[in-house]
A and B are shown apart, each in its own frame.
Chain A
Amino acid sequence: MTEKQSTGETVLRYFAWLRERTGLSEERLILPADILTVNDLLLWQSRRGHPFDQAFAKPEAIRVAIDHSHAKPAAEIGSAREIAFFPPVTGG
């Protein structure tokens, strides 16, 4: 935890068809400083180029969790350590 905070790295995780379309289960990176909210992050993803542009083409179909808690589009990223992207859940 301390190491991640000092390097400013965030873990991004992808599930279901977002994992398939991005070809990634997870990645670690330093997010641009101007990404403040979940909305900012979804917009940034849609502009990252292939394959993220296609995976994030319909942000309204994507749900986001920050550090294991559901987060609304207006929610602030803050000092999130782990951010996950996935379609609406279909368990039960």
Chain B
Amino acid sequence: MAVRVSEADFDVSEEMARLTGDDTGIGGVSIFVGKVRGEAGAEKLVSMTLEHYPGMTEAELERIEAEAHRRFNLSASLIIHRVGEFKPGDNIVLVITCSPHRGDAFGATAFLMDYLKTCAPFWKKETLVSGTTRWVEARESDDEAAAAWVSIGK
């Protein structure tokens, strides 16, 4: 289990190789990469700034990662979330989960992303081509996605 908050970009294959190591019990690896979209509604995005709450961010990521290990049969997991200023196409977040069989890895990756989006203290601010800046608003659909896991339980 590992979480990392960093300004630096990540290399997916390098991170996966390090995470799986020589564990031959792993039968499936699920990877999600979140990226900066070039459009914000009807407007074009110039850049996006990601702010976070140092200390609480790591605590929340560790909490949801531990919850994923409780719900799913995982051999290993990694969450990397970047902060700072980004351009369209840049990587924002990486989640990798490893399990003996694919179902747990698929499920855990989706679970981690849904919880990360509603619990981890990150905030996005967009700078648009028009010159205006605005804080991204939270989406109700994200809350619903996270809430759905409560009823599924385990």
Interface residues, chain A, with chain B CB atoms under 8 Å away: 13, 15-17, 65, 68-70, 84, 86-92
Contact B122–A89 (Cβ < 8 Å): yes
Check if B19 is an interface residue, CB within 8 A of chain A: no
Q: Known interface pairs A13-B53, A15-B53, A84-B53. Does A65 touch B135 (Cβ–Cβ under 8 Å)?
A: no
- Supply 14 A–B pairs (Cβ within 8 Å), ascending by A: A15-B51, A15-B121, A16-B125, A68-B53, A68-B59, A84-B56, A87-B138, A89-B118, A89-B119, A91-B116, A91-B122, A92-B34, A92-B81, A92-B113
Chain B contact residues: helix, strand, loop or mixed:
mixed
Contact A92–B122 (Cβ < 8 Å): yes
Check if B102 is an interface residue, CB within 8 A of chain A: no
Q: Which residues of A contact B122 (CB under 8 A)?
A: 89-92
Q: Known interface pairs A15-B51, A16-B51, A17-B135. Does A91 touch B56 (Cβ–Cβ under 8 Å)?
A: no
Check if B14 is an interface residue, CB within 8 A of chain A: no
Chain A contact residues: helix, strand, loop or mixed:
loop
Total residues of chain B contacting the partner, CB 8 A:
27
Check if B50 is an interface residue, CB within 8 A of chain A: yes
Q: Which one of A13, A65, A70, A89 contacts B123 once the chains associate, using CB atoms below 8 Å?
A: A89
